Amino acid sequence: MSSAMRTAPSLLVCLLLGVPLMAGSASVRAESPDAVNHVDLIPTERAAWSPKNLGIGVTSMFGGWNYWYAEREIDVETVPSNANLKLYYIRSNFQKRFEQSHSPALVKIPPRVDMTYKDAVRFSAIADGYLAQDVSYDAQKVPDKVVIQLQVLPNSLVYLGHTEFGGRTSLTLRTTEQPDVRMSKNTSLRGFQIALTKTALKVEAKSQKGAGHITDIDALQLGEDAIIRVQTDAPDVEVRSRQSYDAVQQQHVYVFDIVPPGAAAPTDAQIRARIDSLAYAPDERCDDRYGAVLREKVGDSDLSDAFRPSGELTDVYRREAMLKLGRLHEGQVKTDTGETLHTGSSLELALAMQSAARVRGYLALLGALARSEPEPSDALRTLVAPTRTSAEFAPIYDAAEATRKDCHH
């Protein structure tokens, strides 16, 4: 009797001491970081009773208890990991439970005794830069571990940039494959949005300061789509798009021209008159020094790419500048290797444009044309290095201008 009485208080003390210890232990587990996400996908409504339950009862008496009555936890993983998951429990084609999580996840589903033969589970996985993937299973036959392998997107946005010249701002996109391009514009907001479906964002500068009619550019990956958000200087600008294929680089090119409402492209005659009106007088020594700075800092390869015909309006400005240079030298231009080309010949004019970076005085004339624009640095970038950003080209422009001013003073 006395032994029993001593035992009772001891048990009570142990219980009292054990309660906070267990509570503290549970708290630690809840607060500790856990890479696996636990998801309850058990429907709130149990499956209706059917004659199969009688057979289940008999089977469970002969060793099948766990198979029918144990709750199941499915280990769901994705490659790559940490993909977003959408998890569905479906019964007779009706959704009975839906949860969202991310991988890896441990998904609890009901015991088989609470399932019907029409129960199914579906796991959807999506990660930025990958194709969405769905897998479905008969709920009774879903494996204990499911690994969803995601495939990379079939297309890539490899270039995003903008140029500004003659009151026209152009946004250029280059992709490896031809995507479905959707543009949306809200007149109440200053800007527009471009969506490229099933396209991975592979550009380095995802946020760019604008020029001309563009104030800011932001690119982001949203699941399977590359999204480009463009802010403009006014809500009523017009956006005109066109597309082409660059066979040399094997890329699809999309250009969005942003212009004031009702603006028309200048004619060849208007461009020629503008170039003829430039305050430019040839100076062989200073022009050579100016051109040498641009060739050194931009590079012959980038200059050649810039002068390669692209169908842009700047092609006309560059050609008219070469013709102007020819008129200043009795209808001919010379390269720095001593070759003479006659601009009155269409064939020799084409050869001069192919060697434009090496035609003496040509880069200096383009510099004079750029200085006639409201934003000279961006204008010259558009003419000689359109793939560079404004920030990248600014020091190049400053160096060339410093050389020009130093030579003329």
Per residue in 376-385, pLDDT tens? 999 999 999 9
Structure tokens at 134: 């769905």
Q: Identity (one letter) of the amino acid at 176?
A: T
Q: How many CA atoms lie within 13 A of 371 on its CB side?
A: 16
Q: Identity (one letter) of the amino acid at 133?
A: Q
3-state DSSP: the chain helix, strand, coil percent, rounded to 5? 35, 35, 30
Going 344 to 322 to 245 to 192, the CA torsion angle's sign is negative
- Pairing of the two strands 225-232 and 191-196: antiparallel
CB 197 within 8 A of CB 179: yes
Distance CA 243, CA 222 (A): 23
What are the tens digits of pLDDT across the range 45-91? 876 655 555 455 555 554 455 677 778 899 999 999 889 999 999 99
Rounded to two decimals, what is the model's pTM?
Answer: 0.73
Residue of 209, 268, 264, 215 lying closest to 238 (CA atoms): 264
Structure tokens at 156: 């890539």
Task: Indicate where the chain has its CATH 2.60.40.3470 domain(s).
Answer: 155-259
Distance CA 275, CA 292 (A): 22
What are the tens digits of pLDDT across the range 286-335? 999 999 999 999 999 999 999 988 888 899 999 999 999 999 999 999 99
CB 198 within 8 A of CB 280: no
**CB pairs under 8 A, 24+ apart, for 4-8?**
none
DSSP code at position 113? G
| CB environment 250-272: b (16+ within 10 A), e (fewer) | ebbbbbbbbbeeeeeebeeeebb
Q: What is the DSSP string of 44-81?
A: SSPPPP-THHHHHHHHIIIIIHHHHHS-EEEEEEEESS
CB 116 within 8 A of CB 92: yes
39 — pLDDT class (breaks 50, 70, 90): very high
What are the tens digits of pLDDT across the range 168-207? 999 999 999 998 999 998 766 789 999 999 999 999 878 8
CATH number of the structural domain 155-259: 2.60.40.3470
What are the tens digits of pLDDT across the range 204-254? 878 888 888 999 999 999 989 999 999 998 888 899 999 999 888 899 999
- Pairing of the two strands 145-149 and 72-79: parallel
